[in-house]
Amino acid sequence: MNRQLHETAAVFLLRFTTYAIVGVVGYILLDIIRHGLPVINWAFLSEMPRRAGSEGGILPAIVGTLYLTLGTVAIALPVGIGTAIYLSEYAAPGRLTETIRLAITTLAGVPSIVFGLFGLGLFVLFCQFGPSLLAGSLTLACMVLPTIIVTSEESLRAVPQAFRQASLALGATKWEAIRTAVLPYSVSGIITGAILGIGRAAGETAPILLTVAAFFLPKLPGSIFDQVMALPYHLYILATQHPDTDKVLPLQYGTAFVLLAMVLGLSLGAILIRVHFRRKYKW
């Protein structure tokens, strides 16, 4: 009887803890939706900010974040997929492979602000790109590289060995086998990785703080050497640097909502794509 009680109490404790965490996640999301959603309207999304961001919309921040993430993926995706192909299809166990893997884990653990310092030192100053879309995208690309590599490699490895063998036995070269009998069936994983990378790039503040972000720049970028505003940085500025933070609280919530919606929407998209492709290709 005592033992039964013990068991029930333990299960209760475990369940309570888990749902407490779930509750906190839910509360955060709800709080931002509840205060953020009412602020959202067409004007907020499509207008320039006015008076240092305390009035008007957030268009340049949205556009800036969009450009930044696109630039990031354009740079990181080819390198990430190439690395994944090497690791899954070519790499023999050995020192080079070990070193590459160690480098990837190291990159995954580098604090985002350190990426910022690195981007500042290499891209902004040494390469003389200045604080710009280009410097920011390159910095973010280095940061999201591990995400893209790991997810792409997983999906390449999930393609049955039988496909490679069938292709090789028909006289395909190794690269032809990879291109025609492996890559097409790992597209879902690669897209998932790309989207997760975009999500991470879109939400990061620290690296762009030092390499691209503009405090208040009410115009759209004209070239890759321009500075841009970005949603996360805009939120940071509104929340901490504004003389009258309480007055702009609705704008903060609105910005937080748009950023959150973008990032979570991408995560959700990644999940849906994976489900869709799993149904389409079953082997």
Partner 1 sequence: MGRDRAIQIGFVGIASSSILVVALIFLFLFKEAAPFAKHPGLAALLDNQWIPVSFQKERFGILPLAAGTVLVTAIAMLVSVPLSALAAVYIAEVAHPLEREILKPFIELLASIPSVVLGFFGLVVLAPLIKQFFGLNTGLNALTGGLLLALMAIPTIVSVSEDAINSVPATYRNGSMALGASRMQTIWRVVVPAALPGILGAVMLGTGRVIGETMAVLMVTGNAALITANPLSPVRTMTASIAAEMGEVPFGSIHYQALFWVGIVLLLITFGLNFIARRISVRYGMMR
Partner 2 sequence: MVKNDTPTGPTAIEVRNLAFHYGASQALFDINIAIPARQVTALIGPSGCGKSTFLRTLNRMNDIIPGVRVEGDILIDNENIYRDKIDVVRLRKRVGMVFQKSNPFPKSIFENVAYGPRIHGMNDKGQLGEIVEQSLRQAALWDEVKDRLGNNAVGLSGGQQQRLCIARALAVQPEILLMDEPASALDPKSTARVEDLIDELKTKYTIVIVTHNMQQAARVSDWTAFFYEGRLVEYGRTKRVFTNPKEKQTEDYITGRFG
Which residues have C-beta within 8 Å of that of residue 211, sequence separation ≥ 6? 116, 119, 120, 123, 124, 131, 132, 135, 136, 139
Which residues have C-beta within 8 Å of that of residue 137, sequence separation ≥ 6? 68, 71, 72, 74, 75, 212, 224
39 or 181, CB closer to partner 2? Answer: 181
Separation in Å, CA 242 to CA 215, 232, 239, 250: 11, 15, 7, 13
Interatomic CA distance for residues 254 and 241, integer angstroms: 17
Q: Restricting to residues 75-94, name those near partner 1 by CB under 8 A.
A: 78-79, 82-83, 85-87, 89-91
Is residue 252 near partner 1 by the rule CB under 8 A?
A: yes
Is residue 3 near partner 1 by the rule CB under 8 A?
A: yes
**Tokens 């740079």, residue?**
75
Is residue 127 near partner 1 by the rule CB under 8 A?
A: no
The nearest distance, CB 113 to partner 2, in angstroms, is 42
User: SS3 of 36, please?
Assistant: helix
Is residue 191 near partner 1 by the rule CB under 8 A?
A: no
The nearest distance, CB 48 to partner 1, in angstroms, is 22
Angle at alpha carbon of residue 107, lines to 161 and 129, rounded to 5°: 120
What x-and-dash track marks residues 79-98 binding partner 2 by CB under 8 A? Answer: -------------x------
**Stretch binding partner 1 (CB under 8 A), from 25-33, 37-45, 47-55, 184-192:** 25-33
**Stretch binding partner 1 (CB under 8 A), from 37-45, 66-74, 221-229, 249-257:** 249-257
Is residue 72 near partner 1 by the rule CB under 8 A?
A: no
